[in-house]
C-alpha cells in the first residue's frame, strides 16, 4: 500500500474521532440485527499485475454482531484495470472476523479473513485461497447507519504456479456504508415509586364529662422498610424509623412481639439469597436490641428472593442491579399504638 493511502486512512480516522458531539452521541450501540454494507476499495495489486498499478473495486458484504466483542462479515469485491492495453481483473469472495475493542459510537477493530481470490489476465487466470489481516474502525451515524473503514493485507496461495509465483500479495484501503435491517430493541426500565407512609389512624376523642375533660388519645401505626446495597447485609445509617420503633417497644407502649422479614433481589442462587435475606433481617433485629429492645420480642425471618416489589429486564448488569434495589429490603411489621394528645 502506498504511503499516501496510509496517510489518507490515518487522517480519516482522526477526523471522524473529532466529529461534532451531535453525531457521536447517536444511539447506535449493541444492535444485534444483520446489516448490509456496500463498499468501495482502492486496491494495490501484486507487482506481477499491471506493474502494481492501483485500481478501484466495488464490494458488497453482509454482517452481524455475534457477541459484545465480535462481528462476522461475509461478501465479495470486483475490480478491474487496464495498463498498456492489458486488461486485469480481480474478484474475491470471503468471510472476515472483526474483534471490536468497544461498542461505543467510535469502534476500532482488528480483522482476520479467509476466502478465495480470482486473478485474470488475457493469457492466464487462477482462483486461489487467501488469508488477510487488517485494522479499521466503525463510526455510528444513526440507529441504523454506520460507516466502516479498514486497511488490510491479503496473501493468495497460487496453485500450479500459474503466474510464475507461489503466492500473490494484495493491499487494499476499504470504505463502506452499512445499514441495519432492524432498529435496536430498547429496554424499558421499570420505575419504582415507594408507597406512601401509612397515615396515622386517629380515633375520635370520647365525649367530655360535665366536669374536667379526660385525656385524649390517638391510634398511630408505625412500620419500617429498610433497603440494602447489592450483595450486602450492612445496615445504612442513620435509622430514624427504627429508632422510633425501638423507643416505642422499650417504653412499653406496645406489648406484643414483632417480626422482621428480610428479602433479596433475584440475582444469585436460591441458597445464597436465602442466607443473605436472613442476615439482613438479623441486622435489623440486632440494631433494635442494641437500642434496648428485648431480643425475645423480635423474630428475624429470611425469605430470599420471594415477594419482589419490582420486576426488571435490563441487559446491562449495572442497570439491572440498580433497577432491582427496592427488592433488597427488610420489612418491620406494622405496630399500632395509642398516644396521648395534649
CB contact set of 200 (below 8 Å; sequence gap of 6+): 218, 219, 220, 221
Pairing outcome for strands 258-262 and 298-302: parallel
pLDDT in tens, 310-326: 999 888 988 988 998 99
Instruction: Output the nine-digit C-alpha cell for 65.
Output: 454482531
Torsion 327-332-338-339 (CA) sign = negative
pTM value? 0.49
Looking at residue 248, what is its pLDDT?
Answer: 83
* Higher pLDDT among residues 34 and 85, named by residue: 34
Say yes or no to pLDDT of 288 above 80: yes
Confidence of residue 172 (pLDDT cuts 50, 70, 90): very high
Residue 76 pairs in a beta bridge with 60, 93
Say yes or no to pLDDT of 307 above 50: yes
Mean pLDDT of 332-341: 75
Instruction: Output the nine-digit C-alpha cell for 286.
Output: 440486632
Indicate the range of 11-15, 132-136, 174-178 predicted with least confidence: 11-15
Looking at residue 84, what is its pLDDT?
Answer: 79
CA-to-CA distance for 11 and 205, rounded, in angstroms?
84
Confidence of residue 224 (pLDDT cuts 50, 70, 90): confident
* DSSP codes joined into one string, 260-289: EEE---S-S-HHHHHHHHHHHHHHHHHHHH
Q: In 10 A of CB 316, how many CB atoms?
A: 10
Residue 171 contacts residue 152 (beta carbons within 8 Å): yes
Say yes or no to pLDDT of 341 above 70: no
Instruction: Output the nine-digit C-alpha cell for 20.
Output: 461534532
Say yes or no to pLDDT of 342 above 70: no
CA-to-CA distance for 210 and 62, rounded, in angstroms?
94
Residue 30 contacts residue 68 (beta carbons within 8 Å): yes
Confidence of residue 187 (pLDDT cuts 50, 70, 90): low
pLDDT in tens, 5-27: 555 555 555 554 454 343 443 34
CA-to-CA distance for 152 and 288, rounded, in angstroms?
68
Confidence of residue 216 (pLDDT cuts 50, 70, 90): low
* DSSP codes joined into one string, 301-334: EE-TT-S-S-----SSHHHHHHHTGGGSEEEEEE
Distance, first Cα to last Cα, the chain? 93
Say yes or no to pLDDT of 66 above 90: yes
Residue 146 contacts residue 138 (beta carbons within 8 Å): yes
Say yes or no to pLDDT of 105 above 80: yes
* DSSP codes joined into one string, 61-79: EEEEEEETTEEEEEEEEEE
Amino acid at each position: 500500500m502506498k504511503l499516501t493511502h496510509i496517510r489518507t486512512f490515518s487522517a480519516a480516522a482522526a477526523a471522524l474521532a473529532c466529529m461534532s458531539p451531535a453525531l457521536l452521541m447517536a444511539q447506535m450501540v449493541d444492535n444485534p440485527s444483520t446489516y448490509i454494507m456496500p463498499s468501495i476499495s482502492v486496491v494495490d495489486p501484486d507487482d506481477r499485475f499491471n506493474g502494481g498499478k492501483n485500481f478501484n473495486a466495488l464490494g458488497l458484504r453482509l454482517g452481524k454482531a455475534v457477541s459484545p466483542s465480535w462481528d462476522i462479515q461475509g461478501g465479495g469485491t470486483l475490480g478491474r484495470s487496464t495498463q498498456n492495453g492489458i486488461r486485469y481483473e480481480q474478484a474475491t469472495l470471503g468471510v472476515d472476523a472483526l474483534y471490536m475493542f468497544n461498542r461505543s459510537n467510535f469502534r476500532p477493530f482488528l480483522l482476520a479473513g479467509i476466502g478465495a481470490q480470482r486473478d485474470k489476465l488475457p493469457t492466464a487466470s487462477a482462483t486461489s485461497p487467501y488469508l488477510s489481516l487488517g485494522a479499521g474502525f466503525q463510526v455510528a451515524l444513526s440507529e441504523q447507519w454506520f460507516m466502516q473503514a479498514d486497511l488490510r493485507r491479503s496473501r493468495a496461495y497460487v496453485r500450479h504456479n500459474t503466474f510464475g509465483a507461489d503466492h500473490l500479495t494484495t493491499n487494499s484501503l476499504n470504505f463502506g456504508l452499512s445499514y441495519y435491517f432492524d432498529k435496536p430493541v430498547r429496554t424499558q426500565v421499570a420505575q419504582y415509586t415507594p408507597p406512601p407512609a401509612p397515615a396515622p389512624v386517629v380515633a375520635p376523642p370520647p365525649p367530655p364529662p360535665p366536669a374536667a375533660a379526660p385525656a385524649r388519645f390517638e391510634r398511630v401505626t408505625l412500620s419500617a422498610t429498610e433497603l440494602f446495597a447489592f450483595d450486602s447485609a450492612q445496615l445504612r445509617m442513620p435509622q430514624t424509623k427504627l429508632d422510633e420503633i425501638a423507643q416505642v417497644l422499650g417504653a412499653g407502649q406496645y406489648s406484643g412481639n414483632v417480626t422482621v422479614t428480610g428479602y433479596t433481589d433475584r440475582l444469585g442462587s436460591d441458597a445464597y439469597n436465602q442466607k443473605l435475606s436472613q442476615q439482613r433481617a438479623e441486622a435489623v433485629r440486632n440494631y433494635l436490641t442494641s437500642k434496648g429492645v428485648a431480643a425475645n420480642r423480635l423474630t428475624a425471618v429470611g425469605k430470599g428472593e420471594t415477594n419482589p416489589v419490582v420486576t426488571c429486564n435490563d441487559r446491562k448488569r449495572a442497570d439491572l442491579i440498580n433497577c432491582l434495589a427496592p427488592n433488597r429490603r427488610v420489612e418491620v411489621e406494622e405496630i399500632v399504638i395509642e398516644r396521648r394528645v395534649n
